[in-house]
Amino acid sequence: MNAAAEVRHLTVSYGEKPVLVDVSLTIPRGSFAAIVGPNGAGKTTLMKTMLGLVKPLAGEVRIPARGRRGAVGYVPQSESIDRDFPISAYEVALMGRYASLGWFRRPGKADKSAAEECLRRVGMEKFASRQIGELSGGQQQRVFLARALAQDAEIYFLDEPLKGVDAVSERAIISILRGLCAEGKTVVMVHHDLRTVRDYFDWVSIINLGVVASGAVEDVFCERNIDRAYSRRAAEAAV
Amino acid sequence: MPAELEIGLIAVMTAASCAVCGSLLLVRGMTMTADAVSHTILLGVVLAYFAAGGLDSPLLFLGAAAVGLVTVALGEMLVKSRLVSEDSAVGVVFPLLFALAVILITRYASSVHLDTDTVLLGELAFAPFERMTLFGADIGAKGIYTSAGLLALDLLFAVALFKELKTVSFDRTAALVMGFSPALLHYLMMALVSLTAVGSFDTVGSVLVVAFMAAPAATAYLLAESFGKMLAAAVTAAAASAIIGVRAALALDVSFAGAMATAAGLVFLAALIAAPKRGLVGAYLRRRAGKRRR
Amino acid sequence: MTAALGSMPRLAAGTLAALLSDYTFRTVALGAAIIGLMSGVVGCFSVLRREALLADGASHAALPGVVAAYLITGSKDAAVLLAGAAASAVLAAAATVLTARRTRIKFESALAVAMSVFFGLGLALMSYAQRLPGASKAGLARFIYGEASSIVMRDVCASAALALMLTALVCVFFRQFKLAAFDPEYAASAGLRSGAAGGALTAMTVAVTVLGIQAVGAVLMSALLIAPAVAARQWTRSLAGMTALAAVFGAVSGVAGTAYSSLRDGVPTGPAIVVTASVIAGVSLLAAPGRGIAAKLVRRRRLRRRVLAANVSAPEGFDRTPPDASTTTEQSARPAAPPDGEGSPNAPQNERIIPAAPPDGEKHAAASAPDEDGKGGGSDAGGA
């Protein structure tokens, strides 16, 4: 199997509190992969560690694309963004081109038209000059998606991009991500809505502190595994 | 060049370079760091003074920049330990370094020309007395050259690293993933803030360095919709405040630095009330309109 | 500094005895102790409310009030000047809070603007006042660096009265203050007026700050509020314990700093007090049991060794049980009743997965509303 990302025996702790314990999983190239698990399961930490933002206590992460500048794309959780920052939707999209430019070089005409094109692809061209805080949550996520598109990465990481997003934006985002996978790119996404896993993704990693199950959706996304991750009590409490 | 013009020129250039630094700090929510750094550079100045034996050495800049970085690093260490919140960390570190500086000065350097007042308060009125000479010819006040050099450095930094600074301030993680080291940029920025603060202290004083780092940037933040425009607006607001301040100080015969800071405050107040989208009046009207629609 | 520290052991007990019998020293030390005590108590709440830097702002912003009070009344009486100081500090604090609440500018940026501009205004006023007969420049230095040696018995009595009042307030309204410090939202929902308690705490911070300026000066006043509180936090988990301990640390810093500066020539009192308080804080941060940096480093190293030793399988010390279900929220609470995963047709499966009514259905609808009319969230962006 041609892996776009591989995690081996990863253990991460904040202080003395273990957040991830002995996590091993593989994400094949070209897959649309979800990371699911209950709150506090370590989904975001896993993603951050894969991106190299958190140093693990033990274990390793292998992402072959990391060798090339800008080959790893990232879409933040919308809450982590400063909505008041003086920046327009267009500027955010243009930011995607910065990675391949490297230090000091400024974006040229080609970069600018690429950014505009990416805004069009997410249906946000009309809002190009809007300050980011003036957009709704879904629109913001689409702008960040445009940035990721502009970056032209090989593997994309998205941290709950659908949180607080309206139905229209959600559909738009998913169809664009699917398009990326069809081009042979890999998309890894922290996801919280179990109802849509089967519809959206072809690969899923169910985690809770450790890996409960990881593999093709049809193979591993079953009641038993989900129950194991979310614990009986949570499932019973909801019924 | 007449003294008043020299004073005005120094005032404008100093204010503008502070405004550039201040804008970079404000968008990252770090304006109070300017306050901390502008105080602790006193320790750097004192140490460099002991090392060089005078106030005319480039060591002064190095020492001040180094202590500025130490202030920031110590504060971050405390925050990282998760024992202290960010604001408390600043509040613990900078008074300690400042207190050490004051003790060193009063105990070992009180007899010499190193007055804590000149560092803290500065005196623009004396700036024209310190002349720069080239081959024996007077080529203008020294302050003009220092402040011009600083302004050039600040502008160069902000322009050359514009996209990197914008990225790291807006989305630190994205910057890291794209390969622009946030830590490197952060410390470069802090070094620049320290340099600007030390370069400005003998004209406007370190307390008012804070005023010029905070007020014009905040004014611009209320007006601008993009980062580039914000930088431009901050520099403009700073220059305007400096000119108004110097004029007022001359007319009323009061402290230049004080009048300049007050002017910067008034310019900010005007924007605070009347900024088209973000001002108090605009926000109030929108809130009322929103209520009525419902 | 090293020379000074090296000569410390030479201080014989005799000198200390002589010091204690000195009336001026006793007065100043007592005054510094009381101010340290009050700062410790009030500082705990400022630190927990993330308002620690407010003290720094308030102390700088007091300057124009002092000068204006002098210009208006022509009096140099401490009470008059203090009243002016308090008035302008409160004004600056109010401006800061208003700006932070009503515009996109964040609290600390607003604070930096308010304090530095007020200070600048104070400087301008002062340069004006100095041209009047009878004024002197000494006042400014005193404002910035403090002049503990100028503390007289009357000041001690006044601050003791204020200290008693503040302590009584804190004791009586401890529960309200605690809520305001930790969880203002919960306090509001429990029907407690946390706004009033929060306002009272802010006012107390400003009052103590203004009073402390005489002892340690405007620039260093914030340390006297923050350092004892930060130090105390490392040793205890209860707010009551923290407050008491911070009071002790503050008072000890006041006395020790005064003593050190009286024994060493040319060491100003204010900075000496602040250095003492900072050293206490530093030691607490490093060495406090359990929470301290040293203890944490040791534990993390041990953990790492254990993990590396266990390598492949999960190390034993870890608790593999998932987080308590009662703490998880809507997402995990959703019924996760998926199909068996065996080739049954798609549509009925989905029906089984989707719960009857998503718990956050309304929220989703509300979030999508502005998007669909194409205007985005623009209407709320400015008002926030």
Map out the domains of chain A with their CATH numbers.
1-68+154-239 (3.40.50.300), 79-151 (no CATH)
CB C117 within 8 A of CB C61: no
pLDDT value, residue B229: 94
Q: Quickly state the pLDDT bin for C378 (edges 50, 70, 90).
A: very low
Comparison of pLDDT for C97 and C4, the residue scoring more: C97
CB C292 within 8 A of CB C234: yes
Interface contact A98-B164, CB threshold 8 A: yes
- At position A124, the amino acid (one-letter code) is M
CB C47 within 8 A of CB C229: yes
β-strand A72-75 against A210-216: which pairing, if any? unpaired
Please, what sign has the CA dihedral across residues C50, C55, C60, C65?
positive
Question: Looking at the complex, does the CB of residue B272 fall below 8 Å from at least one CB of chain C?
Answer: yes
pLDDT at C245 > cutoff 90 = yes
pLDDT value, residue C380: 35
Closest partner CB to C371 (pick from A18, A166, A231): A166
Q: Closest Cα of chain A to C61: distance in Å?
A: 27
Which of the listed ranges B42-56, B183-197, C49-63 does the model predict with the highest average pLDDT?
B183-197
**Global pTM value:** 0.82
- At position C347, the amino acid (one-letter code) is A
pLDDT value, residue B120: 64
Interface contact B170-A95, CB threshold 8 A: yes
- At position A105, the amino acid (one-letter code) is R
Question: Looking at the complex, does the CB of residue B221 fall below 8 Å from at least one CB of chain C?
Answer: yes
Interface contact B173-A51, CB threshold 8 A: yes
- Both tokens assigned to C174: 């401890």
DSSP labels, B198-252? HHHHHHH-HHHHHHHHHHHHHHHHHH-SSHHHHHHHHHHHHHHHHHHHHHHHHHH
- Both tokens assigned to B13: 């250039």
Residue in chain C nearest B255 by alpha carbon? C124
- Contacts by B231-237, CB closer than 8 A, 24 or more apart: B231/B20, B231/B23, B231/B158, B234/B19, B234/B20, B234/B22, B234/B23, B235/B16, B235/B19, B235/B20, B237/B19, B237/B264, B237/B267, B237/B268, B237/B271
Q: CA torsion, points B61, B67, B70, B71, in degrees to nearest 10? A: -120
Q: Quickly state the pLDDT bin for C187 (edges 50, 70, 90).
A: low
DSSP labels, C292-345? SHHHHHHHHHHHHHHHHHHTTSPPTT---SPPPGGG--HHHHS------SSS--
Interface contact A74-B160, CB threshold 8 A: no
Considering only CB atoms, which chain B residues are within 8 Å of A107?
A: 163
pLDDT at B221 > cutoff 50 = yes
Q: Could you give the residue ranges of the DSSP H alpha helices within C173-289?
A: 174-182, 184-189, 194-216, 221-233, 239-263, 269-287
- Both tokens assigned to B293: 């629609």
pLDDT tens digits, residue range A124-170? 999 998 999 888 888 999 999 999 999 989 999 999 888 888 888 88
Interface contact B176-A52, CB threshold 8 A: yes
CB A73 within 8 A of CB B15: no
Q: Closest Cα of chain C to B131: distance in Å?
A: 25
Question: Looking at the complex, does the CB of residue A229 fall below 8 Å from at least one CB of chain C?
Answer: yes
Closest partner CB to A164 (pick from C315, C323, C367): C367
Question: Looking at the complex, does the CB of residue B168 fall below 8 Å from at least one CB of chain A?
Answer: no
Mean pLDDT on C177-199: 68
Mean pLDDT score of chain B: 86
Considering only CB atoms, which chain C residues are within 8 Å of A239?
A: 335
Q: Closest Cα of chain C to B25: distance in Å?
A: 9
Mean pLDDT score of chain C: 73
- Both tokens assigned to B92: 């613990």
pLDDT at A233 > cutoff 90 = no
CA distance A103 to A98: 8
Q: Quickly state the pLDDT bin for B116 (edges 50, 70, 90).
A: low
B-proximal residues of C, 284-323, CB under 8 Å: 285, 291-293, 296
Interface contact B258-C268, CB threshold 8 A: no
pLDDT value, residue C349: 34
β-strand A186-190 against A155-159: which pairing, if any? parallel
Q: Quickly state the pLDDT bin for B113 (edges 50, 70, 90).
A: low
pLDDT at B88 > cutoff 50 = yes
Interface contact B208-C119, CB threshold 8 A: yes
pLDDT value, residue C253: 94
Beta bridge pairs of residue A61: A7
pLDDT tens digits, residue range A165-213? 888 888 889 999 999 999 999 999 999 888 888 889 999 998 888 888 8
What superfamily would CATH give domain B3-209? ABC transporter involved in vitamin B12 uptake, BtuC (1.10.3470.10)
pLDDT tens digits, residue range C254-313? 999 998 888 887 788 888 999 999 999 999 988 887 777 888 788 878 887 877 776 544
Residue A88 gets which letter from DSSP?
Answer: B
Which of the listed ranges A80-94, C207-221, C306-320 does the model predict with the highest average pLDDT?
A80-94
Q: Could you give the residue ranges of the DSSP H alpha helices within B109-181?
A: 116-121, 142-160, 162-170, 172-178
Q: CA torsion, points A161, A167, A173, A179, in degrees to nearest 10? A: 140
* C23-293 is a CATH 1.10.10.10 domain: no
Considering only CB atoms, which chain C residues are within 8 Å of B257?
A: 120, 123
User: Which subunits sit against C, judged by 3+ Cβ pairs under 8 A?
Assistant: A, B
Count the residues in chain A: 239
pLDDT value, residue C293: 81
Closest partner CB to C56 (pick from B35, B121, B278): B35
CA distance C227 to C40: 8
pLDDT value, residue B162: 93
Question: Looking at the complex, does the CB of residue C55 fall below 8 Å from at least one CB of chain B?
Answer: yes
Question: Looking at the complex, does the CB of residue B286 fall below 8 Å from at least one CB of chain A?
Answer: no
Mean pLDDT on C104-132: 88
DSSP labels, B126-137? GGGGSEEEETTE
Share of chain A above pLDDT 70, in %: 96
Domains of chain C by residue range: 23-293
Beta bridge pairs of residue B138: B133
Question: Looking at the complex, does the CB of residue B120 fall below 8 Å from at least one CB of chain C?
Answer: yes
pLDDT tens digits, residue range B124-182? 877 787 787 777 788 888 888 889 999 999 999 999 999 999 999 999 888 988 889 99
Mean pLDDT on B4-10: 90
Question: Looking at the complex, does the CB of residue C323 fall below 8 Å from at least one CB of chain A?
Answer: yes
CA distance A19 to A42: 6
Q: CA torsion, points B108, B110, B114, B120, in degrees to nearest 10? A: 100
Mean pLDDT on C146-155: 78
pLDDT value, residue C231: 92
β-strand A3-14 against A58-62: which pairing, if any? antiparallel
CA distance A141 to A162: 8
pLDDT value, residue B225: 86
